[in-house]
Chain A
Amino acid sequence: MNWPALILSLRLALTVAAALLILGIPVAYWITFSHWRWKFLVEAVVALPLVLPPTVLGFYVLVAIGSRSPFGRWYQSWSGHGLPFTFEGLVLASVLYSLPFAVQPTAAAFALVDPNLINVSSILGASPWRTFYRVILPLSAGGVVTGVILSFAHTLGEFGVVLMVGGNIPGATQTISIAVYDQVQDLNFVAANHTALVLLAFSFITLSLTYALNRRIWAVWPMHQ
């Protein structure tokens, strides 16, 4: 059993889920409430990872963070090392790759909030920010939690993007899905079986727990019953 790979995968998935919790909410808010006429372009870009092969996305991320791109050079001079084939590079690529999984359930939940509740909030003197955290966010808790779980689960299971951007460096960028692939390539089916089984069990338990918890959260909001 390849424990460092499992731990790396968990660390990556948790970091990405946390980053998407912070990033996904404003993106979802903007997509739901903006009246900008070209908004659909942004929606299409956010949804792109759903349809693009992970290798294509990974390839562009690799080009964008490589030492030939301005961003790659800026990062190199700022941090002292490049982004490709590092954990940070993996996080960046995974955030992009899982963005629609965080944004879409959140935006769907925001859109379900009765517009008159938002109107009433302004009429009662609340700022847009207060309306957001006192009305919109509590009523969308289910969608936000779903978004976080999905981005966690999606990152845990990703393969193509990680391989393109992270390479396969044990302890640094070798995630558990790549470890399984390696073990199969080495014809080490017993080890592959163990690794796969641990990942399967872990994923199943995590999802069951979070959905069970999520149901309790939903029960707090009578609107969703």
Chain B
Amino acid sequence: MIADDRAGLDVGIRKRFAGGFTLAAEFRASAGITILFGPSGSGKTTLLKCVAGLERPDSGRVSLGPRVFFDSKQKIDVPVRERAIGYLFQSLALFPHLTVEGNVAYGLAHHPAELRRARMREILESFRVAHLATRKPGAISGGERQRVALARSLVTDPALLLLDEPLSALDALVKSKIIDDLRAWNASRNIPILYVTHSPAEAFALGERIVVLEAGGVLAQGTPQEVLAAPRHETVAQMAGFENIFDATVTAILEDHGTMRCRLGESTLELEVPLLWTEPGSATRVAIRAGDILVAKARPEGISARNRFQGTLLSLERRGVTVIATIDAGVRFEVHLTPNAIQALGLKAGQQVWLIVKTYSCHLVAVDSSQSTVHS
């Protein structure tokens, strides 16, 4: 269970804007990563700014464990600089006139020089940017800048970390490595991390908990699976672009294929998925869009897709212009087909069918098992 529940972030705020937009959000984020997910304009960044104190809510309360940051009734509004939080902006906001070292040391001003140097060296090393210490932000790569900005916001040992789409510009591999380093950093500290994103893939990659925002309000919150099971609202539906999400175990690394094999859930079904920085035996999560799965009546031959497997068609349900097929292949798959395809194939419930899934239709995400047990 959660080791230190007092350190959780509790938010319940309202803020009206001149244009008519109202942010009215209530949620809780305990230790570990909580995703704030929602489309552009849903109020994610504003919410983050209210938590940080960069924006002032009209009413409500923001507290982190026993520390009250904001309370409109008690007239408490702790200044930003006294909240002791980390905030990673989408633009990173590295000081262009300071070196990497200067940037990272900025928040350590009131520490003695000796301690400052030690802390700085430690964090630069744990984020693998120690060799860049004397360079300026303009002279390092995008991924390196991300790491430096992350190191700068963590070196002060914040009690809460706010991340505003910090990794949206990076490719998946660089991203997952940085996330691994962040998880490693947080393993011993266990602070709440609020991670804003509008990308469903990212939401699932990190998701221990998701808070779904739309038009300034909280639509749903819980684990990714819980949120998906919730009533289909537009935003959840957008996330549900990944109708099929399976907990999986890596069984083999096929390095020369650039792929690896994963066993889905408790079944014996194995899929070949893109190779990610994971070792055999590690827990992962595989997400597949229902529209990305092909159905065939006979075993398909001469096809590039690596994953071909049999299953039983359990049901067909027409929803609008889409037919939703549920197929049991050891685990249950949801497959979206057109009514035309159903007719052409003459599909009926109870039939045996073949499913075809391209390796690159399998969106693979690393899950830190120690982190997920914390929240079970």
Q: Residues of A with Cβ closer than 8 Å to B?
A: 114, 116-117, 119-127, 130, 134-135, 138-139, 220-223
Chain B contacts for A222, CB-based, 8 A: 96-97, 136-139
Is B97's CB under 8 angstroms from A221's CB? yes
Q: List 29 A-B contacts (CB under 8 A).
A: A114-B93, A116-B91, A116-B93, A119-B93, A120-B93, A120-B95, A122-B54, A122-B81, A123-B80, A123-B81, A123-B83, A123-B85, A123-B87, A123-B153, A124-B152, A125-B81, A125-B84, A125-B156, A126-B106, A130-B109, A134-B106, A138-B97, A139-B97, A221-B96, A222-B97, A222-B136, A222-B139, A223-B97, A223-B138
Given the complex, which residues of A lie within 8 Å of B82, measured CB to CB? 125
A-contact 0/1 string along B85-126, CB 8 Å cutoff = 111010101011100000000110110000000000000000
Instruction: State whether A123 touches B52 (Cβ < 8 A).
Output: yes
> Interface size class for chain B?
20 to 34
**A125→B109 contact, CB < 8 A:** yes
Contacts of B79 in A (CB 8 A): 122
Closest to B91 in A: A116
Best-surrounded residue of B80, B152, B153 (most CB of chain A within 10 A): B80
Minimum CB distance partner of A127 in chain B: B81
Q: Which residues of A contact B54 (CB under 8 A)?
A: 119, 122-123
By CB atoms of chain B within 10 A, which of A116, A130, A220, A222 has the most?
A116
Residue of chain B at shortest CB distance from A123: B87
Identify B80's interface contact among A117, A122, A130, A223, CB under 8 A: A122
A120 to B54, CA, bound (A): 10
- Cα distance, A114 to B93, chains bound together (Å): 8
Residues of B within 8 A of A139 (CB): 96-97
A124–B156 touching, CB < 8 Å: yes
Q: Which residues of B contact A138 (CB under 8 A)?
A: 97
With A126-B106, A127-B81, A134-B106 already in contact, the answer to whether A119 and B89 are too (CB < 8 A) is yes
Report B59 CB to chain A, min CB distance, Å: 21
A223: B residues at CB distance < 8 A: 96-97, 138
Contact A120 B87 (CB under 8 A): yes
Sorted nearest first, the 9 A-B pairs with minimum C-beta distance are: A124-B107, A116-B93, A222-B138, A223-B96, A122-B80, A120-B93, A122-B81, A123-B87, A116-B89
Residues 136-161 of B, flagged 1 when their CB comes within 8 A of A and 0 if not, give 11110000000000001100100000
| Interface contact B91-A114, CB-CB below 8 Å | yes
Nearest-neighbour CB distance to chain A for B120, whole angstroms, equals 13
B95-A117 in contact (CB<8A): yes
> Is the pair A126, B97 in contact by a Cβ cutoff of 8 Å?
no
Question: Which residues on B sit within 8 Å (CB–CB) of A114?
Answer: 91, 93
Q: Contacts A116-B91, A135-B95, A221-B96 known; A123 to B109 CB distance under 8 Å?
A: no
Name the CB-closest residue of B to A135. B95
Chain A residues, Cβ within 8 Å of B84: 125
Q: Are A125 and B97 in contact (CB under 8 A)?
A: no
Complex alpha-carbon distance, A111 and B239, angstroms: 39
Q: How far is the CA of A127 from the CA of B110 in the complex (A)?
A: 12
Supposing A125-B156, A139-B97 touch, asked if A120 and B89 sit within 8 A by C-beta, the answer is yes
Give the chain A neighbours of B81 by CB distance below 8 A: 122-127
Minimum CB–CB distance from B54 to chain A (whole Å) comes to 5
Q: Which residues of A contact B110 (CB under 8 A)?
A: 125
User: Roughly how many angstroms separate A135 CA and B106 CA in the complex, as a whole number?
Assistant: 10
What residue of chain B has the Cβ atom nearest to residue A141's Cβ? Answer: B97
Find chain B residues with CB under 8 A from A135 CB. Answer: 95
Nearest CB in chain A: distance from B97 CB, A: 5
Which residues of the other chain, B, contact A117 by a CB distance below 8 angstroms? Answer: 93, 95
A127 to B106, CA, bound (A): 12
Interface string of B60-93 (1 = CB under 8 A from A): 0000000000000000000111111111010101
Q: Give bound CA distance, A53 to B28, whole Å.
A: 63
CB closest chain-B residue, reference A131: B81
User: Across the interface, do A123 and B86 meet the contact criterion of CB distance under 8 Å?
Assistant: yes
Residues of A within 8 A of B86 (CB): 123
- Which residues from B are CB-within-8-Å of A125? 81-82, 84, 107, 109-110, 156
Q: Bound state CA distance, A138 and B138, in angstroms? A: 16
Q: For residue B137, which residues in chain A have a CB less than 8 angstroms away from its CB?
A: 222
Chain A residue at minimum C-beta to C-beta distance from B86: A123
Which of A123, A130, A221 has the most chain B CB atoms inside 10 A of its CB?
A123
* Complex: A222 Cα to B152 Cα, angstroms: 20
Cα A213 to Cα B71 with chains together (Å): 51
With a cutoff of 8 Å between Cβ atoms, the chain B residues found around residue A123 in the complex are 52, 54, 80-81, 83, 85-87, 153
Partner of A119, one of B80, B109, B136: B80
- How far, in Å, is A65 (CB) from chain B's closest CB? 42
Q: Tell me, rounded to whole Å, the shortest Cβ–Cβ distance linking B135 to chain A.
A: 11
Q: A221: which B residues are within 8 A, CB to CB? A: 96-97
Contacts of A127 in B (CB 8 A): 81
Known contacts A114-B91, A127-B81, A222-B138; decide if A121 and B106 are in contact (CB<8 Å).
yes
**B45-60 contacts to A (CB < 8 Å):** 52, 54
Q: Which residue of A lies closest to B83 (CB)?
A: A123
A residues less than 8 Å from B106 (CB atoms) = 121, 124, 126, 134
Chain A contacts of B89 at CB under 8 A? 116, 119-120
Q: A119–B95 contact, CB under 8 A?
A: no
Residue in B54, B87, B96 whose Cβ sees the most chain A Cβ within 10 Å: B96
A residues in contact with B152, CB < 8 Å: 124
Q: A134: nearest residue on chain B (CB-CB)?
A: B106
Measured CA separation A123–B49 after assembly (Å): 11
Closest partner residue, chain B, to A224 (CB atom): B96
